[in-house]
Amino acid sequence: MIITALHWQAVSLRFARPFATSRGRMRDSRSWIVTIETAEGIRGYGEAMPRCEVASGDRLTSAVEDELLAWRRRLVGHPLAIPDLPVPRSPSEAAVSFAIETAVLDALAQHQGVPLAALLGEPRPAVPVNATIGSSEPEDAAREAAQAAAAGFPAVKLKVGDRPLTADVARVAAVREAIGPAVALRLDANGAWRPDEAVAILPALAPYQIDYVEQPVRPGRLAELVWVRKEGGIPIAADESITSPAQLVALLAAEAVDVVVLKPMALGGLRRCVALAQLARTVGVRVVITSSLESGVGTAAALHLAAALPADTPPCGLATTGLLEHDLLTVPLPLDRGVMTLPDRPGLGVQPDARVLARYRVRKDAP
């Protein structure tokens, strides 16, 4: 099978309503939907959506599109094969690697008539997922959490860290009360607390049976995370701290975390995440796969990755396309009672909707 074309479209993904975390309110994200075509007429899809706090607008666009052009030169006219992915040096490189690998694996899996997950491991058909609740007021958070519990979600993840510590404790108490004792409750501070603040608040949160607290302190300071884990008395997860394989290895070696959140968009690919997940498991660290709040294309890829991991993988953070105005897909990803299932069709199993893409397009397609 020869790759005959590689093209993409930039879109502006809009949140259904602004999504608040301790780092601010998100209204939209710039994303690139990538298509690979083969001589047999197979189309493989992928998505690149770098979360760049340092680059935005035109700078981000040219970084991503330069990368995509380089991949086009490398792949078009050549046989379809899993590409060697460089260790990414930036969020845009990671996101583009993820998009290219997804599109190639999608086309290969369609050709073989198997789900993409079967190229990553021994797939399970269904993946339990958590509901995600932004940094809303206590009553709103409690109401959303109660709805999630009633809808059958096994876990709820609540954004924290954008208000005084006592207010966050009261909010967590309201959410625990709303969901009852059986639903797992996870918190995500997105790096909001100073280490002394984290060590002050975590023991106050312990009575609410917290599954884990994600990124309590800023990324990049390993010793702080180690100290917070030792003093806090609640399981700790790293998310923003993991933007490269080397950082994950350092976290594991320092015994800094109980849980690692792996995002294939940030780490630059699905197969790399499979390897990193295996590494974490060998030292007894739990692995949670999450989306990066991208469209249904990238989220489907993360779902296949989660499905390729062992059955004892905790609920993953993949039920996120509902936060967007539209998932860009012709058919939404299957979600029922807190469980997502792989789409019925081979490959990635999803298709971007051309009319919806046109609605969200931000600029002319690349030449």
Contacts to Mg ion by CB under 5 A = 188, 214, 239
Q: Crossing angle, helix 270-282 and helix 245-253, to 10 degrees?
A: 10
User: Which of 42, 5, 35, 34 lies closest to 345 in space, CA to CA?
Assistant: 42
Instruction: CB nearer to Mg ion: give 65 or 188.
Output: 188
Instruction: CB nearer to Mg ion: give 157 or 326.
Output: 157
Instruction: CB nearer to Mg ion: give 162 or 188.
Output: 188
Contact 350, 163 (CB under 8 A): no
DSSP letter, residue 220: T
Least Å from the CB of residue 39 to Mg ion: 41
Instruction: CB nearer to Mg ion: give 211 or 214.
Output: 214
Question: Which residue's beta carbon is nearest to the bound Mg ion?
Answer: 239
Residues designated as active site: 159, 263
Least Å from the CB of residue 189 to Mg ion: 9
| Rounded alpha-carbon distances, angstroms, from residue 356 to 4, 246, 295, 333, 359 | 25, 38, 11, 16, 5
- Which residues, at least 6 apart from 179, have a Cβ–Cβ distance to it below 8 Å? 145, 146, 148, 149, 156, 185
Instruction: CB nearer to Mg ion: give 248 or 356.
Output: 248
Least Å from the CB of residue 123 to Mg ion: 25
Rounded distance, CA 69 to CA 7, Å? 9
Cα angle, residue 287 at apex, residues 262 and 45 outer, rounded to 5°: 40
